[in-house]
Structure 1
Amino acid sequence: MNIKFYKYQGAGNDFILIDHRVSELKNIDNKLIAQLCDRRFGIGADGLMFLTNHENYDFEMVYYNSDGNIGSMCGNGGRCIVAFAKFLGIIENETNFLAVDGPHYAKITAEGNWVELQMIDVDTIKTDGSAFVLNTGSPHYIREVQNLAELDVFTEGKNIRNNDTYKLNGINVNFVEDKGNHLFVRTFERGVEDETYACGTGVTAVAMAMAQQKQPGHIETPIEVLGGKLQINFDYDGSKFTNVFLCGPAEQVFEGKLNF
């Protein structure tokens, strides 16, 4: 059995995408997905997505983490699957699709390499000591630090993700440094169990946490991650974040066939 797949990346966050409208890939299990995402014995990716039909939307996004388990919302994955849908001819420059956390609107440039994805509204930010905790489609922990480039994100992130508070359900751990004209963010992702080059729901959460120090209004936040640059735009009324958009590149890297 030969199944066609495509590899996409969004600011270094990379994904395997399969058009499941026509795919003959059956009996999908955690072990198979983990094998495909393995960087030594498979294709290598932070996650795998199936694009499927949905009667009420342009398509549905079904996302798996690289450990093989079904995932919560993935922002950069969402941007990549929008680019994939344009490549397949399903959409043109705008779309409404369904993900695990509900419907999403997105727009994409005519060239297909810049995607602005609307994320869920957020009205609750909790604290854990000096850190912030919130859900932007996936749960996130945010801690502001200095000298982020030198931080051992893997060890620090792993320890927080697996502490007594978060080990049951897991949490994504973000560290942020305010660089003045932009935020520098590094993230340890649950499900990948490692630092990734970017995390879309993570940078969205970071921008919201840091915006609490600003005056309400329309806020645009440039973000630097290991894999490039992203931008978060939203309206903030002092307690709620609405019209939230995760903006950044989404590029097809290569295509191939899975042999079974």
Structure 2
Amino acid sequence: MNIKFSKYQGAGNDFILIDHRMSPLKNIDNELVAQLCHRRFGIGADGLMFLLDHEDYDFEMVYYNADGKPGSMCGNGGRCIVAFAKHLGVFDNETNFLAVDGPHYAKITAEGNWVELQMIDVEQVEQDGEAFVLNTGSPHYVAQVENLASLDVFNQGKAIRNNETYQANGINVNFVEPKPDRLFVRTFERGVEDETYACGTGVTAVAMAMAKHQQQIGKVETPIEVLGGKLQVNFNYDGQKFTDVFLCGPAEKVFDGELDV
């Protein structure tokens, strides 16, 4: 059968998107998902998403990691599926959709390449030594470092992700270096099992961890630099809880294609 798909990227975080509302593909084959995401034997992506109908929301987002397994919330994936849904005519400029971590609101510019996605509120932030651990829809470990550009993110991130504390459920590992006007962030993602060019829930976790560390109270707007470009995280912080959390950045279509499966 032929399955139409689109490939999108948000700050270098890339995804395969399939409109599953009328798709003949009825059963999700995890091995097929992994093959499609493979960068040598497939299309190549950090994850794959299906857009489904939902009676209470504009659409539902179902996300799979590059290893073929169902994933937790993906922030940049959420922004990309919003751009995809707008392209399909599902909504105009504002939408409410359902993801694995609950409902999300998003808005998109008229040009269709800048998406502001509301993330979940966060109250619980723990520490592991000097690092911070929190869940922004996906679990994240945040460590502040120096000379991040030359850091061995793959091996250091893999070691933390697979240590005795986190190996059972896995964790995404973020390294952050504060700059005068932004935070520079690099992330090792579970499910991809490699460094990615960007991680939306990751930069959200980093912005929160640094706001807590620096006691930035009130409305906080944090510019972020990642390997794939620029993002921004905005929220309100009262010293205990992060609310009105928005992950903002570009979401652009790379190409359309058809799968013969």
> Does the pair score TM above 0.5?
yes
Q: Distance in 2 between matches of 1:154 and 1:78?
A: 25
Residue 170 of structure 1: CA displacement? 0.1
Output the amino acid matched with 2:211: A
Q: Distance in 2 between matches of 1:23 and 1:172?
A: 32
Q: Distance in 1 between matches of 2:14 and 2:104?
A: 20
> Taking every aligned residue pair, what percent have the same amino acid on both sides?
80
Match of 2:257 in 1: 256
Match of 1:2 in 2: 2
Bigger Cα displacement from structure 2, 5-14 vs 27-36: 27-36
Cα deviations by residue, 1:129-163 (Å, 9 ceiling, x for unpaired)? 11000000000000000000000000000000000
Cα deviations by residue, 1:197-252 (Å, 9 ceiling, x for unpaired)? 00000000000000011331000000000000000000000110000000000000
Match of 1:85 in 2: 85
Q: Distance in 2 between matches of 1:65 and 1:135?
A: 17
Q: Distance in 2 between matches of 1:175 and 1:251?
A: 26
Q: Distance in 1 between matches of 2:260 and 2:29?
A: 16
Q: Distance in 2 between matches of 1:124 and 1:35?
A: 36
Match of 1:51 in 2: 51
Cα deviations by residue, 1:74-93 (Å, 9 ceiling, x for unpaired)? 00000000000000000110
Residue 16 of structure 1: CA displacement? 0.1
Match of 2:236 in 1: 235
Match of 2:101 in 1: 101
Cα deviations by residue, 1:106-146 (Å, 9 ceiling, x for unpaired)? 00001110000000000010000110000000000000000
Match of 1:219 in 2: 220
Q: Distance in 1 between matches of 2:9 and 2:27?
A: 26
Match of 2:119 in 1: 119
Structure 2: gaps of 5 or more residues: none
Secondary structure at the aligned position of 1:26 is classed as coil
Output the amino acid matched with 1:252: K
Output the amino acid matched with 2:216: Q
Q: Does residue 63 of structure 1 match 2:52?
A: no
Cα deviations by residue, 1:1-36 (Å, 9 ceiling, x for unpaired)? 110000000000000000000111133221010000
Match of 2:150 in 1: 150
Q: Distance in 2 between matches of 1:201 and 1:28?
A: 25
Match of 1:35 in 2: 35
Residue 43 of structure 1: CA displacement? 0.3
Cα deviations by residue, 1:25-56 (Å, 9 ceiling, x for unpaired)? 13322101000000000000000000000000
Match of 2:200 in 1: 200
Cα deviations by residue, 1:165-216 (Å, 9 ceiling, x for unpaired)? 0000000000000002100000000000000000000000000000011331
Q: What value does the CA root-mean-square deviation take over the aligned residues?
A: 0.5
Residue 164 of structure 1: CA displacement? 0.3
Q: Distance in 2 between matches of 1:135 and 1:161?
A: 15
Q: Distance in 2 between matches of 1:220 and 1:230?
A: 11
Match of 1:76 in 2: 76
Q: Which runs of 4+ in 1 moved over 4 A?
A: none
Q: Distance in 1 between matches of 2:147 and 2:175?
A: 10
Q: Distance in 1 between matches of 2:135 and 2:153?
A: 21
Please report the TM-score for the alignment, with normalisation by the length of structure 2.
0.99
Please report the TM-score for the alignment, with normalisation by the length of structure 1.
0.99
